[in-house]
A and B are shown apart, each in its own frame.
Chain A
């Protein structure tokens, strides 16, 4: 059974820092891994999708990497800003049709 773990559970950093969020999964047979952002009381916003054949994806200040063999992904946020404060969730599609299994998330606070 696929399980997804995110470390750390919470993170507080000063503005301008570069930071790394970690995600691990137990079964390497995945179609893709996705990173989402969730603001308090809101739905999820898709950030990046990495297919199983890819090693990384970039969007603006965000870079996500995937090491399928070791069951790990990282989300790198460059030059963090207070507007980046949110919960970041990673999810894997193991069964196709985008049936996602989520981690519990990392709650990020970026203070001025």
Chain B
């Protein structure tokens, strides 16, 4: 069966520090991978998606970047965190082009001080 892992579960970082959140998927090949952010009081917003190694599409301009160094690994990064980067970050995967359910990790709660 397929599983998705995200770490860390919680993270507290000072403003201006770098960030690296990692997500890995097991039990499937060539998944579509996604990073979402859920800010306090707001809905989920798609940040990045990837349909293959090295293929990253950004959905919103921001202080963050994403990379996919391996088929089932998706990394969210920042060189310098802002206060507005605080939120709940969720990684997800699906397969195929359309009409397949999306499966989410347990998320990372990021607090910026």
* Chain A residues within 8 Å of B, Cβ to Cβ: 4, 31-32, 34, 36, 41-46, 49, 51, 89, 91, 93, 96-105
Contacts and interface: CB of A to CB of B under 8 A. Distances in A.
B1 interface: no
14 contacts: A31-B99, A32-B98, A34-B101, A43-B6, A43-B107, A51-B99, A93-B99, A98-B98, A99-B34, A100-B102, A102-B43, A102-B45, A103-B43, A104-B43
A101 B46 contact: yes
Given A89-B44, A102-B44, A104-B42, A49 B101 contact: yes
A29 B105 CA distance: 28
Nearest to B46: A99
Measured as residues with beta carbon below 8 angstroms from the partner, the interface class of chain B is 20 to 34
Nearest to B6: A43
A72 B51 CA distance: 29
Given A97-B51, A98-B94, A46 B46 contact: no
Given A32-B99, A44-B92, 8 more contacts: A41-B107, A43-B107, A45-B104, A49-B99, A49-B101, A91-B44, A99-B46, A100-B44
Interface string B14-53: 0000000000000000001010000000111110010100
Interface of B: 6, 32, 34, 42-46, 49, 51, 59, 90, 92, 94, 97-107, 109
A34 B102 contact: yes
A43 B104 contact: yes
Nearest 10 CB-CB pairings of A with B? A43-B104, A46-B101, A44-B104, A102-B44, A104-B43, A98-B94, A102-B43, A31-B98, A43-B106, A49-B101
Contacts of A96: 97-98
A32 B101 CA distance: 10
B36 to A, nearest CB: 8
